[in-house]
Amino acid sequence: MNFKINEAIELLERTPGTLSHLLVGLSPDWLTCNEGDDTWNALEVVAHLIEGEKVNWIPRINMILTKGESYTFPPFDRFSHLSNKEKDIEQLLLEFKQCREESLNTLKNKLTGLPDYEQTALHPEFGPVRLRELLSTWAVHDLTHITQITRIMAKRYKEDVGPWANYLGILK
Amino acid sequence: MNFKINEAIELLERTPGTLSHLLVGLSPDWLTCNEGDDTWNALEVVAHLIEGEKVNWIPRINMILTKGESYTFPPFDRFSHLSNKEKDIEQLLLEFKQCREESLNTLKNKLTGLPDYEQTALHPEFGPVRLRELLSTWAVHDLTHITQITRIMAKRYKEDVGPWANYLGILK
C-alpha cells in the first residue's frame, strides 16, 4: 500500500488550479467538443467534479467515521450534473475551487484525531469499503478526470494529425 | 479538419503552467513513481518535453517551411533525455517554460506570412507530412504526456483504492 493522507491531500489540493491553468481562456470549441454521442465535454466533467464535492466524498467519509457498517452509502448519481448547463468554465472552476477548499478543510478537521484508515462502511455494490480506499479513490478520481479532459481535447485533432495518429495512443 | 493555428497555440501555451500546477511541491514519491520496468516517471516525461522543444518541433517546422520535400526529417531520439537525471522538477519545469516560450515566439514569427498549412516535407517513416499535421501533433503530444503523468500517478494507488478499481479505467 502506498496511501499516506498528506500525499493524497497534495493531489486533491492541486486539481482546481491545474484545470484552471489548462482550461480558462480556451476557445469555445475546445470546451464544448466531446468524444461522441452520450459523452461529456470539459464543462460537463468539471460540473461532475463539483457534484462529487457536494454529495459524494465528504458525506461518505462522514458515514464511515460516524456510522461504520451499520450504514450503506446511498448510490451516487454520476449523471445528475448534466442538468446544470448554464455556467461558463470560469464560473464552474471557481465553484469547484471553493467546494474543494471547503471539502479539504472539513477533511482536515475530521482527521485531527488520527483516525483508523482501515475502518469501513458498506458500499451498495462492493460491501465493506475502507476509509483508506475511499480517500485513495477520491485522489485517483481527480486524475481520471484530468485524463478524460486531455483525451477529449486530443481527439478533436484525430484527423488533423495525419499519419502521426499511429504514435499517439491517446487517439485510439 | 478542426485545426486552427491560434487554437493549437492556445494549448501549447498552457502546458508548462498546467504541469507546474500539477507537479511543483508534490512529495518525491509522486514524482519518481513509474508504471514498471522501462517506463518513465513524471520528471522523465518533462525532460522528454524539453528535448522535443530543442530538437524536434521547431527544427521540423523549419524544414517544411524552407526545404519541403527535398528534405527528410532526421529521426527523433525519443529516449535521449533519459541521460539527464540531475535536475529537480522546478528546474525542469522552468527550463520547459523557457524553451516553450522561445519555440512559440519563433513559430509566431515564422507564421506572419500566412503560410500554406498543407505544404509538406518527408518523414523518414511516413513519407510526405503536412505543416498542419505537424502542428496538430505537437499540441496532441502535449496532451498525451499530461495524460501519461496523471496515469502514472494514479497507478501508484492501484492497490489502495480497493474495489473501486473496477470503476477507474485509468488503472487498467
CB proximity A144 to B under 8 Å: yes
pLDDT digits (tens, 9 = 90+) for B106-147: 999 998 877 899 999 999 889 999 999 999 999 999 999 999
Question: Cβ separation of B170 and A26 shorter than 8 Å?
Answer: no
Q: Using alpha carbons only, what angle is made at residue A22 by residues A11 and B138, rounded to the nearest 5 degrees?
A: 115
Task: Give chain A positions within 8 Å (CB) of B162.
Answer: 126, 129-130, 132-133, 136-137
- Within-domain flag for A122: no
- Within-domain flag for A64: yes
- Within-domain flag for B122: no
- Within-domain flag for B121: no
Mean pLDDT of B63-83: 76
B8 to chain A nearest CA, in Å? 10
Question: Taking 90 as the threshold, does the pLDDT of residue B38 lie above it?
Answer: yes
Question: Taking 70 as the threshold, does the pLDDT of residue A107 lie above it?
Answer: yes
- Within-domain flag for A75: yes
Question: Cβ separation of A21 and B25 shorter than 8 Å?
Answer: no
CATH code where residue B133 lies: 1.20.120.450
Question: Cβ separation of A133 and B17 shorter than 8 Å?
Answer: no
**Interacting residues of A83 by C-beta distance below 8 A, sequence separation 6+:** none
- Domain of residue A163 covers 5-111+127-171
Give the residue carrying C-alpha cell 448510490: A75
- Within-domain flag for A121: no
Cβ pair B137, A159 in contact under 8 A = no
Query: Against a cut of 0.90, is the pTM above it?
Result: yes
- Within-domain flag for B117: no
- Within-domain flag for B103: yes
Mean pLDDT of B151-167: 96
CB proximity A146 to B under 8 Å: yes
B72 DSSP β-pair partners: B122
Q: What is the 3-state secondary structure (H, E, C) of B11-39?
A: HHHHHHHHHHHHHCCCCHHHHHCCCCCCC
Nearest to A31, CA basis, from A171, A161, A153: A153
Nearest to A14, CA basis, from A101, A86, A116: A101
> Rounded to whole angstroms, how far apart are CA atoms A141 and B135?
31
Q: In this predicted complex, what is the ipTM?
A: 0.94
pLDDT at B81 (0 to 100): 67
What is the tally of structural domains in chain B? 1
Question: Taking 70 as the threshold, does the pLDDT of residue A118 lie above it?
Answer: yes
